[in-house]
Structure 1
Amino acid sequence: MGCAVLALSTGFAQAQTAPPAADNSAIAEIVVTAQKRAENLQDVPVSVTALTSETLAARGVTNVLALNNMAPGMRISANDAAANPKIYIRGVGLSDFNPNASSGVGVYVDGVYVGSPLAQMAGFFDLAQVEVLRGPQGTLYGRNTNGGAINITTKRPTQTFTADASLEYATFNAVRAEAAVGGPIIADKLAFRAAAQLTRDDGYTHNRVTGNDLNAADNWAGRLSLLYTPSDDFEVLAQVNRYVNRGDAITPQHRALFPSDAASTGPDGLCLASAYASGACSDLMGYVDTDKNDRAVDANLEGKDKIDLFGASAQATWSFNKMQLVSVTAWQWAHRNDVENTDGSPLQMLEINYRSRHQQFTQELRLQSDDPAARLSWVLGGYFMDERVEDNTRQDTLRDFRPFFVSPDNPTGVSAADSVAVFGWPYVQKTKGYAVFGQADYKFSDRLTGTVGLRWSADKKHMNYRSQIEDGAFILLESDQKKTFSAFSGRLGLRYELTPDTNIYATYNRGYKAGGFFGGLATSPEEVEPYDNETLDAYEVGMKSEFFDRRLRLNVSGFYYDYKNQQVFAQALRNGLTVLVLDNAANSKVYGGEAEITARPIQPLTLTAGVSLLHAKFGEYFSEGQDFTGNWLPQSPKVTFNVAANYVAPLASGASIVANVDANYGSKVYFENSNAPRLSQDAVWVAGAQLSWRSPDGGTEAGAFARNLFDKSYVVSISNIDSLGEDLLTMNRPRSLGVFLRYHY
């Protein structure tokens, strides 16, 4: 659920796990493509967490949200059912849910930038690996990667026949089915892989008004990949993919804020926390939820979040003269029609219909060295993007108040001055983006390597915007603006090999996020004025090491960020009514440290853990008359921790029993810039487990799992609408117990 403007008045190398060393007690080498070429994870002077397909399956990762806290310092949440994930790494991200907004963390699938927030929660199936890159990636990945990047790699076609299938059944009649098949079409020339996924459940929130269950999932996805290899030095990987969501819109929990007596009133004039469900507090229309059941609601409207996505891409790689020429061409479109009961109540106070369309064409061309023995490794490239975003969202506000304003001259009861109306903000934003970039790594000696990179980017944006009442009966604001946002970003670094198993590095990275235009409801020219680029200068030192014949891997890093012209998305009160603001509001200082450890003390047991310590506060920041200076950045816990254990116990038959347990911890987070206690979530531990039987050949596995094992209930996101007297709380998914069957040939 995205709470839009609320009450208003008119005022080439595939990432993969390399084969293990001859000593099968050693930790397997991980190959990543974080620098656009295949490299050992331990040799890359970037903070990277690599999650293999086996790890993803054991943790039940089915979309980007399930990656939350699986890498140090990464937090992912959403208050929409199938779109708009809020991705933060080391405190850097953006919570704006409007379709023309760009996150501070880039999402890439098989080298293709997924720019639309409508499309970033789809396609998590038949994966080879997920890489989480922490820190600005402005040289090789470009703008909108201030916080980092999530690099997703799907399984490629092979010249041997393969088949994979999995089926899960769990609590709430949840069914998830996946299947993939592939192999040669023309031996050594053309191979294919086709994969599909289906997810459904009955929902986990009871609607007391209708007796139905809400927050149900219903989506499917498919992908077809073709790999053409006419010669040893040329290949083309072509893909088409489709995703369809027909599940429920998110239905939030309602929390009333207007007190009815002094005993229930807090110092801010709103309801005391102790009185939330007492019946002494209500919203603007007098409704209050008093049962303290965060898995039940009273909803007059049961909405759907309909999303349709399509993508096609082709990656061609030509190897010659110890170089490679790589071309990545992609086209994507996304459509969304989301009808939601935004107010979370049985009354018609706030209901929003999000209607958005997005089209994007991208072309990247890279010429890069391909000689591992050379002292100099380099890449030169160019990038082009053509994007179109259309939005025609409608917000029906205070409809149940219309009878009070009906008159012979006003039969519909519309009163714009009192926010009793249907507000809309149709707009079209067109963007043409250009970039040229290069990076070079030079080995000064067998131990010392230096890196330099530079990128210039420009986005030409054209925004045609209108805000209106009652589908155009009255025009609040019209605007037609063009502006080009450009910037340099880059990288400097040194890496020194202390021993064959330990290296240290120091880097400087400049990242930036392009400026743009606000995509929510605005009523004044100032609200649609373009906001500027934000920049982030990042300084990092780290060490990557392995000990005890590669039975222990330890990677640590420390960082300092100088964050300038930070784009801040916030809700604010204007003339007593809640509006949304997106502006360059503050500078911030962010610093911290991280550690990741993998241990193989005995051959059957693998232990992994990660920890992040973060200090992330606003510098001087005043907004709408409020002083937020020194406040903690939203979605930025001071401490995150994750741990997992995998034990494979061999049986006499040759089969094995596989046990997985995992847990993660996040300290307190604030959801809003004011750091109001009510708009926060205290520290939370979440655990999961999986136990299975695996056949001798490893082709069949069957077992049971528990996710959110101890059934922790906590808030994922909060939208506060003070002017309507309510908070909207998006809750986590309850405990899920289930069974699964997986097959690989």
Structure 2
Amino acid sequence: MILSISAAHAQHAQVDADVENPDDDVPVIIVTGQKMDRSLQKTTDSVRVVTREELLRETGRDLSDTINRVANASATVGDRSFSIRGVDQRGVSGRGSTLLIFVDDSPLGNRTTALGPTDIWDLEQVEVFRGPQSTNFGRSALAGGIYIRTRDPQYKWSLDLRTEAGEASTYQAAIAGGGPIIDDSFAFRIAINRLESDGFVTNSFLGGHADPSRLTSARLKLLIEPVADISIVTSTSFTDNLRGESGVSATNGNPGVPLRAGEVMREVAYDLPGLESTETFIQSLNASWNINPAAQLRLISTYQDTVYSRQLDGDNTPSPLSFSQRTGNERIITQELRLAFAGESWAGVVGGYYYDLREARTDDFVIPFFFLVPSVPFDVRLARDSDFSIDTRNYAAFVEAEIALSDHLDFLLGLRYDYEELDTASIALTTSVAPLPPDLAFLNGFLGSESESIAASYDAWLPRIGMRWALNDNANVSFVVQRAYQAGGGVFDVIDGRVNEFGPEYLWNYELALRTLLLDGRLRFNANAYYADWSDQQVRQPRADFPFVFSIENAGASTIWGLEADLAFEPVEDWELYGAIGYAHTEFDKFPNDRFNPARPVSEFNSPDFNGNRFPFSSRWSANLGFAHEPARGMFGGVDVNFRSSQFNSSANLAVNRCCERLTANARLGYAIEGFRISLLARNLFDANYYTFLTAARPGAEFGVLGDPQTFSVRLDASF
């Protein structure tokens, strides 16, 4: 039998019955982010599961630290975005999202993902799905997904404490705990975290720090089991997050070729501090009813509300020439109903899904007319006030099944029908900051008000089919083909308010997987190889008259292929060696350059197309290697080394923007006694200098984001 239904908690009620390791001392890792829960060794998708034990022992504090240790995945653009298999979260078009992040089944919106509830305190595990998840997660999962599950309440009392202090005035204070209210029927868990840092960039004009960060999060979870066959888990959380701007001049203020990262000063001078903040409330409910030993009904409901704001100095100088401000609200409601069932040689799930996103935002900015018409004096400025509203409704029906064709061969089937409706509206007013002189009267053509709206709908069938062959009890290979999809949409031109609509994009993915568990479960080696065709790709195209303003077109076609392999080995008790390697090849097969000028010579800056180029923020190679020594008492420690190869910041692949290669190491050393652990932590142990973002194609606007320097801190953990 492939699967069975158990009476476990609603978060992981379906458990793989064919445990491939008969040794009960070796834990089985369960992947919970899919419609049918499976052991890691039976999951054909390329998924890296970061367990609670790993999260507790490592040096990271938030999701970006965790993702940067995963092969073929990384945090990008100053940790405000993520990339999987060389595909940035915002897609090639920059209008994303191509991957989804879930926290306790709640999908985070774009603003919330950039600055939301992504601290890793009191998590059960993080699952990084590399490759398409459209059949599983639906919308916005063409590149993959990240599924975060926080710790559930238990029927025994527990208390966990953490405090950490380090360089850059970094401080963390966290507490989590709970227990039974009614034995075997009602339990709770509370988690609170405060994390702050002054950052590493100073503002010499305003004084103080340019990139401080402050995070406060609180979560209450309840487990309610009124009768033996019903389990309800609710999660209520609030996160207040604030972050400054970490970007600096890549030339120390002198126009020219960007400097090496180690030569760049971590200093800025501008009159308006760059700040971004969010306040996020999430409520989720996961209820399951075990109808009988072979059937289970599950209801998942989530509500997310995020208020966000951002202010930015547009000219990055002490002069008040340009600034922008954005405020908004992002509200998401989801409802999902699943019916899971199992027989002697088959198992499956069928269900429906509803998603409603309502976003409203206001954008206000002041810029010099020079940005639009270079002949205009720099001190002649325009002001623009814009109001946007976006309403996205998504409906889906899905089915997934596994059928045992023999003792060693399973047939895998999945199908999702996805239907999406989009309604957007824009109202904008453009004025001159000061009256225009007569000789600049032609600039009045940019002024005035515009209002536009878009109403569209999209649908797609998203099949998934494959085979899994058990070589023996501890090894299997599989081959899966699936279709992925990203709906179309629309954007409004910031210059004249014109509507820019674009259609859906599609991807066919072909994937071969190997799963092995050797040496009585002490050695795990898993690998995936993939190939994908991407058609009708949404890409950015600059306007001919305003090259720094972009539209989006379905003008691209691409091929992506690569592999990732993960290894974990426990040679002796309390020791673990681990490593991973990933290669992600992204390449445009078709991408015409609308900015090409045939009257000029063909060059890197004037290319007729971007064919053969790689995607923005796409590193070809990534790897990590480390060890951990974790006895219950006495000395403990570990080291992990992480590598990322270079990348470009745009589809043009300009050599001047090539950056971000790095080799970094983190280390920890500590001592544990009954219930207490004290650790000395070193991040970026060898003080590697590197960019995480660089753009230097426009003289005078060379801009980069540097990786954090070497830092040390002391951490105290206590558990009761």
TM-score, normalisation: structure 2: 0.88
Secondary structure class of the residue paired with 2:135: coil
Q: Which residue matches 1:551?
A: 522
Task: Write out per-residue CA displacement over residues 347-395 of structure 1, whole angstroms, 9 at most, x where no aligned residue.
Answer: 33432212121111110111112x4x63111111111112111121112
Secondary structure class of the residue paired with 2:55: helix
In the alignment, which of 109, 134, 138 is matched to residue 138 of structure 1? 134
Secondary structure class of the residue paired with 2:140: coil
CA contact (8 A) 2:538 2:554 kept: yes
Q: Distance in 2 between matches of 1:86 and 1:202?
A: 21
In the alignment, which of 589, 593, 601 is matched to residue 563 of structure 2? 593
Secondary structure class of the residue paired with 2:656: helix
Distance 1:706 1:672, change over 3 A: same
Distance 1:205 1:16, change over 3 A: farther
Is the counterpart of residue 583 in structure 1 residue 553 in structure 2?
yes
Counterpart code for 2:183: A
Task: Write out per-residue CA displacement over residues 455-485 of structure 1, whole angstroms, 9 at most, x where no aligned residue.
Answer: 1111111111133314999435321120001
Q: Which residue matches 2:439?
A: none
Q: Which residue matches 2:612?
A: 630
| Superposed counterparts of 1:66-145, under 5 Å | 66-79=65-78, 85-95=80-90, 101-119=95-113, 121-123=115-117, 124=119, 125-145=121-141
Larger displacement relative to structure 2 (312-321 or 290-299) = 290-299
In the alignment, which of 502, 505, 511 is matched to residue 534 of structure 1? 505
Counterpart code for 2:473: P
In the alignment, which of 486, 494, 503 is matched to residue 513 of structure 1? 486
Is the counterpart of residue 450 in structure 1 residue 423 in structure 2?
no
Deviation at 1:728, TM superposition (A): 2.3
CA contact (8 A) 1:332 1:361 kept: yes
Q: Distance in 1 between matches of 2:262 and 2:581?
A: 37
Q: Distance in 1 between matches of 2:280 and 2:226?
A: 31
Distance 1:215 1:170, change over 3 A: same
Deviation at 1:742, TM superposition (A): 0.6
Counterpart code for 2:103: V
Secondary structure class of the residue paired with 1:131: strand
Task: Write out per-residue CA displacement over residues 626-650 of structure 1, whole angstroms, 9 at most, x where no aligned residue.
Answer: 4211111111111110112102357
Is the counterpart of residue 332 in structure 1 residue 307 in structure 2?
no
Secondary structure class of the residue paired with 2:65: helix
Task: Write out per-residue CA displacement over residues 235-292 of structure 1, whole angstroms, 9 at most, x where no aligned residue.
Answer: 1111111111234x21411246999xxxxxxxxxxx6527x79xxxxxxxxxxxx995
Q: Distance in 2 between matches of 1:462 and 1:162?
A: 48
CA contact (8 A) 2:428 2:497 kept: no
Q: Distance in 2 between matches of 1:497 and 1:641?
A: 28
Is the counterpart of residue 224 in structure 1 residue 185 in structure 2?
no
Q: Which residue matches 1:736?
A: 711
Larger displacement relative to structure 2 (679-688 or 148-157) = 679-688
Distance 1:399 1:482, change over 3 A: closer
Counterpart code for 1:252: G
Distance 1:583 1:86, change over 3 A: farther
Q: Distance in 2 between matches of 1:490 and 1:301?
A: 50
Q: Distance in 1 between matches of 2:704 and 2:15?
A: 40
Larger displacement relative to structure 2 (60-69 or 389-398) = 60-69
Q: Which residue matches 1:309?
A: 280
Q: Distance in 2 between matches of 1:207 and 1:143?
A: 41
Q: Which residue matches 2:5?
A: none
Q: Which residue matches 2:692?
A: 716
Task: Write out per-residue CA displacement over residues 106-140 of structure 1, whole angstroms, 9 at most, x where no aligned residue.
Answer: 11112222233324543322100001111111122
Q: Distance in 1 between matches of 2:150 and 2:11?
A: 12
Larger displacement relative to structure 2 (465-474 or 603-612) = 465-474
Q: Which residue matches 1:345?
A: 317
Deviation at 1:428, TM superposition (A): 0.6
Q: Distance in 2 between matches of 1:620 and 1:257?
A: 37
Counterpart code for 1:38: D
Q: Distance in 1 between matches of 2:549 and 2:253?
A: 18
Larger displacement relative to structure 2 (61-70 or 485-494) = 61-70
Distance 1:20 1:154, change over 3 A: farther
| Superposed counterparts of 1:677-688, under 5 Å | 677-688=655-666
Q: Percent identity?
A: 25
Distance 1:533 1:688, change over 3 A: same
Counterpart code for 1:294: M
What number of residue pairs does the alignment pair up?
A: 681
Distance 1:418 1:505, change over 3 A: farther
Q: Which residue matches 2:247?
A: 252
CA contact (8 A) 2:98 2:142 kept: yes
Task: Write out per-residue CA displacement over residues 213-236 of structure 1, whole angstroms, 9 at most, x where no aligned residue.
Answer: 220111201111111100111011
Q: Which residue matches 1:282?
A: none
Deviation at 1:585, TM superposition (A): 3.0
Deviation at 1:518, TM superposition (A): 1.9
Is the counterpart of residue 273 in structure 1 residue 249 in structure 2?
no
CA contact (8 A) 1:94 1:568 kept: no
Secondary structure class of the residue paired with 2:549: strand
Secondary structure class of the residue paired with 1:678: helix
Q: Which residue matches 1:642?
A: 624
Deviation at 1:57, TM superposition (A): 2.9
CA contact (8 A) 1:64 1:121 kept: no
Deviation at 1:579, TM superposition (A): 1.3
Secondary structure class of the residue paired with 1:422: strand
TM-score, normalisation: structure 1: 0.85
Q: Which residue matches 2:472?
A: 499
Is the counterpart of residue 435 in structure 1 residue 396 in structure 2?
yes
Secondary structure class of the residue paired with 1:117: helix
Is the counterpart of residue 484 in structure 1 residue 483 in structure 2?
no
Q: Which residue matches 2:646?
A: 668
Secondary structure class of the residue paired with 2:137: coil
Deviation at 1:195, TM superposition (A): 0.6
Task: Note the aligned Cα RMSD (angstroms).
Answer: 3.1
Deviation at 1:555, TM superposition (A): 0.8
Q: Distance in 2 between matches of 1:502 and 1:21?
A: 10
Deviation at 1:346, TM superposition (A): 2.3
| Unmatched segments (≥5 aa) in structure 1 | 1-11, 260-270, 278-289, 406-414
Distance 1:721 1:273, change over 3 A: closer
Q: Distance in 1 between matches of 2:308 and 2:15?
A: 36
Task: Write out per-residue CA displacement over residues 601-650 of structure 1, whole angstroms, 9 at most, x where no aligned residue.
Answer: 22232011110112211111113234211111111111110112102357
Counterpart code for 1:665: F
Is the counterpart of residue 467 in structure 1 residue 428 in structure 2?
yes
Secondary structure class of the residue paired with 1:379: strand
Distance 1:28 1:318, change over 3 A: closer
Q: Distance in 1 between matches of 2:630 and 2:330?
A: 46
| Unmatched segments (≥5 aa) in structure 2 | 1-9, 434-445, 597-608
